[in-house]
């Protein structure tokens, strides 16, 4: 689906910061940023990605921080009939 369609269906942009340990150097932490359109409060795309990480990738997760923002809410739409400009 296109991004606008997702936003109109209630999806918002979820950004997550994954802090993980390097596979060969367990004392070294690294970060990975992930963004996807997802639905709050269940966050199915985020949890699918976390499951994928734990099953397929070697670097164990240390922590995950995330934020979610709806970019378009139904109450933000309004019909503009005209525009009045100065200068």
85 lies in a domain? no
> In total, how many domains does the chain have?
1
Answer yes or no: is 51 within a domain: yes
Give the span between the Cα atoms of 4 and 37, in whole angstroms: 10
* Residue 21 structural domain: 3-72
> In Å, how far are 8, 23, 25, 74, 87 from 36, measured between CA atoms?
15, 25, 29, 20, 41
The answer to whether position 82 is within a domain reads no
What does the alpha-carbon distance between residue 43 and residue 35 come to, in Å, rounded to a whole number? 12
22 in a structural domain: yes
Does 79 reside within a domain? no
Buried b (16+ CB within 10 A) or exposed e, 74-86: eeeeeeeeeeeee
Per-residue pLDDT of the chain (87 residues; tens, 9 = 90+): 788 888 888 899 999 999 999 999 999 999 999 999 999 999 999 999 999 999 999 999 999 999 999 877 656 566 667 766 665
Q: Let me know if residue 67 belongs to a domain.
A: yes
Is there a domain that residue 78 lies in?
no
């Amino acid at each position: 689906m296109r991004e606008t369609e997702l936003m109109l269906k209630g999806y918002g942009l979820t950004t997550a910061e994954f802090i993980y340990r390097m596979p060969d150097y367990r004392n070294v932490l690294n970060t990975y940023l992930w963004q996807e359109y997802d639905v709050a409060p269940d966050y199915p795309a985020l949890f699918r990605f976390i499951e994928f990480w734990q099953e397929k990738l070697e670097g164990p997760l240390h922590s995950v921080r995330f934020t979610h923002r709806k970019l378009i809410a139904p109450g933000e739409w309004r019909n503009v009939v005209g525009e009045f400009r100065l200068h």
